[in-house]
Amino acid sequence: MTTSRAAPGGWRSIAVGAAAVCLVPPALLGPSGTLLLSLSALLVVAVPLLRWPWGRVTGSAAAFAAMAVSLVTDVLYTGRPGLALLWMPFECAGLLVLTGRLVRHTRSRYLVPAGLLAVLTTLALPLRFTLRKPGAGADDVVVMVLVTLLPVVCAVGVGGYLRSADNRRRRAVLRARREQRLQLARVLHDSVAHEVTGMVLEVQAAQVSAHEPGESRALLSRLEEAGLRALDSMDRTLRTLHSPEESREDAAGEDPAQPSTRVHGVADLPELVGRFAESGAVKAELDLDDEVAGALPREIDEAVYLLVLEALTNVRRHAAAARDVRVTVERAGAELRVRVVNAGGGSSRPLLPLRKGGGTGLVGLEERYRSLGGALEAGPCDGGWRVAGTLPPAAPTASSGNR
């Protein structure tokens, strides 16, 4: 069975055609002046129905043109007043829709004049009949204006409400994008910087002392593995920036709405500490409670891993004289405690030069731990340095954490 899809906007053309069939033929059968009334009504009705922009003509420009034609018709029509009532309801409905749309979409600097023009055009429409009605007085004019004022106020109110909703949605999108950028910056700092720091230190150590061929091959292998891990982290980060359409083209077979963003946790700590011990002269030990791995919520699990990753990276960069590092992850009552302690003082000159824009890892971690209901502290301890964090057994939901 073959199915066809209507072209976008096809129903709009049908609606405009139906409006033309309903509004124009009666004018062709009446006096010549009624053609102006029908064309004015058709234009005001057609503008909200058509899709804009059309070429260089924007929706606002088309709305202003339609309202200008309506005002000109108010002035130029000299026929019988009763005939104006035939097309007036249609034109009034179109003007109300245009009023709401202008209030919703017009730029802030043009909002007041555009809104006033739309309101005045709509209120002037009934005068096309009232001012030409025999025996009509000022009371009739006031009554018609007041009767028209209520739907005009409703149109302005609906447009203002939708404008406010659009602004809230744009602000929410901006906040989400900002949070995503911060999250991506944390990912790059936590994973890529850790691997690159280890690679630089390996190269520095190789320049100081000669290596046997076997040791050189092992060194190059470690550098290759660290580089591949850094590239993999960058690839995962970049995939999160792709739109669903791009993800569908670049990663066939994967769910485009769910890019690959593996989260490391407590179960990955043995591998992390092992790589740290293999890539330098610092002895590293892990004391991990067996009941912790695999039993934590995702937010808590990731926070534990990130603290250990950040602390080990700082040991590499700033504690050249450290002798050993002990990583402890354990439950203490209702809390989960994470500690990374290195014995031995830091060097007066760090192994890696200080970089502009660095030094934000612990600050970001402290904010993360606080948002999860925990706490983080770092400082000197027994001639070395200690980074310790406490976390609740379960993290609050993302929605509650942002309130």
Mean pLDDT highest for which of 85-94, 301-310, 312-321, 376-385?
Answer: 85-94
Q: What mean pLDDT do residues 265-286 have?
A: 84
Higher-pLDDT residue of 41, 218: 41
Query: Tens digits of per-residue pLDDT, 96-120?
Result: 999 999 999 999 999 999 999 999 9
Label residue 393 by pLDDT band (50, 70, 90). low
Label residue 216 by pLDDT band (50, 70, 90). confident
For 159, other C-beta atoms within 10 Å of its C-beta total: 24
Structure tokens at 329: 């992850």
Higher-pLDDT residue of 229, 168: 168
What rounded mean pLDDT belongs to the chain?
Answer: 80
Closest CA to 195 of 306, 264, 304, 279: 279
CB 259 within 8 A of CB 251: yes
- Distance between CA atoms of 241 and 237, rounded to whole angstroms? 7
Label residue 232 by pLDDT band (50, 70, 90). confident
Closest CA to 72 of 116, 36, 114: 36
CATH architecture, range 264-403: 2-Layer Sandwich (3.30)
Phi, psi of 3 (to 5 degrees): -115, 150
Higher-pLDDT residue of 331, 9: 331
Q: What mean pLDDT do residues 3-9 have?
A: 44
pLDDT for the residue 328: 94
Residue type for position 131: L
Q: What mean pLDDT do residues 307-311 have?
A: 87
Label residue 248 by pLDDT band (50, 70, 90). very low
Q: What mean pLDDT do residues 215-222 have?
A: 74
Strand-strand pairing, 384-391 and 335-343: antiparallel
Query: Tens digits of per-residue pLDDT, 30-48?
Result: 887 899 999 999 999 999 9
Q: What mean pLDDT do residues 172-200 have?
A: 76
Query: Tens digits of per-residue pLDDT, 376-392?
Result: 998 888 778 899 999 98
Start-to-end CA distance of the chain, whole Å, equals: 52
Handedness of CA 265, 279, 326, 320 (dihedral sign): negative
Query: Tens digits of per-residue pLDDT, 329-357?
Result: 998 888 899 999 998 755 434 444 444 44
Instruction: Examine the pLDDT at 228 and tell me if it is beyond 90.
Output: no
pLDDT for the residue 209: 63
Instruction: Examine the pLDDT at 358 and tell me if it is beyond 70.
Output: no
Structure tokens at 336: 């989960």
Q: Where are the beta strands (DSSP E) in 268-353?
A: 283-288, 324-332, 335-343
Q: Where are the beta strands (DSSP E) in 217-288?
A: 283-288
Q: What is the pTM of this model?
A: 0.57
For 208, other C-beta atoms within 10 Å of its C-beta total: 6
Domain positions in the chain are 10-169, 264-403
Instruction: Examine the pLDDT at 267 and tell me if it is beyond 70.
Output: yes
Maximum CA extent, the chain: 113
CB 122 within 8 A of CB 103: no
Label residue 189 by pLDDT band (50, 70, 90). low
pLDDT for the residue 398: 41
Per DSSP, the residues of 64-118 read: HHHHHHHHHHHHH--S-HHHHHHHHHHHHHHHHHHHHHHHHHS-HHHHHHHHHHH
pLDDT for the residue 356: 45
pLDDT for the residue 63: 95
pLDDT for the residue 3: 40
